[in-house]
Amino acid sequence: MAGDRDALRGFVAVSAAVFAAGVAATALAATSMQAMAGTPMPGGWILPSAWTPMCGQSWAATAWGFLGMWTAMTAAMMSPSFAPALWRWRQAVDRTGALGPDRLAALAGLGYFTAWILIGAAIFPLGAALAAAARRWPDLARAAPLAGGLVVLFAGAAQFTRWKASRLACCRAPTHHTATHANTALRRGLALGFDCGACCAGPTAVLLVVGMMDLRAMAAVTLAITLERLAPRGERFAQASGAVAVVVGLAMMVRAAA
């Protein structure tokens, strides 16, 4: 029992450090982004500087900057829901008699956040391409607010689907697959990260449309994700957040059409 308590204290300390570092880095990045004026676009919206190179900046530097912000944001937003799941997984691994459950849990955590970084690496070229297209074609830029409302609307509706429910079940019960070797733990973390990325597709889309570096939006999405992962009957919270997104999406569309 004493060993379990020591292991839990160590796990909580490391998890809290990851979360605190993510929050601090995210707040710093958000402050820096707010200090950088975005580009006013036809249609009355502002194109964030995260998607386009600043004066004298290369595309590679812009991409690395985006990934840095994305990584910090992921650590801050996903740690509250991922840490309890990882601890349950670590306990399940320990019950198998595997050597080094803490090391295996650390590798699973590394795999999990690596998956999220890869998701961010896939999102950036798409966002950058859309930003470039909006800068090139004014008519497309004028349609962006309405398109954003549609994205938020459909993202909210997706929270009610069976697909969402199945992905959420995978994220809520990671102990179904344990590991006894380092490479297996890393692969399991990667798989869980991609499962959670798919499960969070709707909330992530909402955040990207509303503002990736908007701290209030990030806090709201973090709360929604944490409740649907940890609360009893989490699918009810997923549907509640979906209903809010549907309302917000409709409001955005009405505003854009006015």
- Considering only CA atoms, which of 111, 103, 110, 85 is closest in space to residue 180? 103
The pairing of beta strand 39-41 with beta strand 45-47: antiparallel
Residue type, 104: L
Per-residue model confidence (pLDDT) at position 115: 96
Residues of the chain with pLDDT under 50: none
Coil, strand, or helix at residue 41? Answer: strand
Per-residue model confidence (pLDDT) at position 58: 87
Residue type, 127: G
Per-residue model confidence (pLDDT) at position 122: 95
- Considering only CA atoms, which of 147, 151, 149 is closest in space to residue 133? 147
Element (H, E) at 57: none
Per-residue model confidence (pLDDT) at position 16: 94
Per-residue model confidence (pLDDT) at position 81: 92
Beta-carbon contacts of 53 under 8 Å, excluding residues fewer than 6 positions away, are 59, 61, 62
Per-residue model confidence (pLDDT) at position 52: 84
- Considering only CA atoms, which of 115, 97, 113, 118 is closest in space to residue 179? 97
Per-residue model confidence (pLDDT) at position 35: 63
Instruction: Give tens-digit pLDDT for 18-69.
Output: 999 999 999 888 887 766 667 788 888 888 888 888 777 788 888 998 999 9
